Structure 1
Amino acid sequence: MRAPGESLEIQKGWNFMAKRGRPTRATATAKALRGVDIDAVDPLTVLKQIAADRSAPASARLAAARVLLAQGGRKKDNSEGAEHDRISERALTLLKGGRR
């Protein structure tokens, strides 16, 4: 039985509930991140995973891809790949309008 003036949420110990049965965003976030070391998470890795996830909404994938491109895109390795061959260099030169 509730005391006069005591809400149902307080009686059941749900002090951080916005509505009955639904936690606030802060409570849900705290619960989801419990046990996760925030300092160990690489944001670029997370963005790469979002951009590659076909089940994610297209707007989320697009936003992740835009941020990745703004950060410099793919990291270049020192291997001899297609970006170092004569044809690719010529194509890049033509795309730049003939300027080197």
Structure 2
Amino acid sequence: MTKKPAHKGKRKGGRPTRSVASKRALAEIDLSKVDPVSVLRQIAADASAPASARVQAARALIADDRRSSEAPPEADTSLDAVSRGALRILNGGKK
């Protein structure tokens, strides 16, 4: 009886990993033409979206409104980690 050699190296074809699929999807979108505030408004208003997504979108919108009218983002400690992360992503990764 002979042993089959262990295959190491590249993955077989088929379904791509999540990171590869995300990169492909984002490559087709011009991020400079996307308005993050309007996207958040759409999510918050979409009754078919999960409630948690709508709540987080609403929180991000409220926080963004406060931030634009008040102090710098580092001074706002009322946000939870998820809201701060969402706002950081919406600002293009900038703090």
Which residue identity is paired with 2:37? L
The answer to which structure has the higher strand fraction is 1
Once the two structures are TM-superposed, the CA of residue 31 in structure 1 deviates from its matched residue by 2.0
- Tell me the matched-pair count: 63
Once the two structures are TM-superposed, the CA of residue 30 in structure 1 deviates from its matched residue by 1.2
The 5 A counterparts of 1:1-100 are 4-6=5-7, 10=10, 12=12, 14=13, 21-72=14-65
Cα-to-partner distance string for 1:1-57 (whole Å, 9 max, x where unaligned): xx94435x8374x3xxxxxx5422211101222321112211111101110111110
Indicate how the Cα distance of structure 1 residues 5 and 63 shifts in structure 2: closer, same or farther if over 3 A, else same.
same
Larger Rg: 1
Q: TM-score, normalised by structure 2?
A: 0.53
The answer to which structure has the higher helix fraction is 2
Coordinate RMSD, CA, aligned: 2.6
Greater relative contact order, per chain length (Cα 8 Å cut-off, separation 6+): 2
Q: Which runs of 4+ in 1 moved over 6 A?
A: none
Question: Equivalent residue for 1:88?
Answer: none
**Structure 2 unaligned spans of 5+:** 67-95
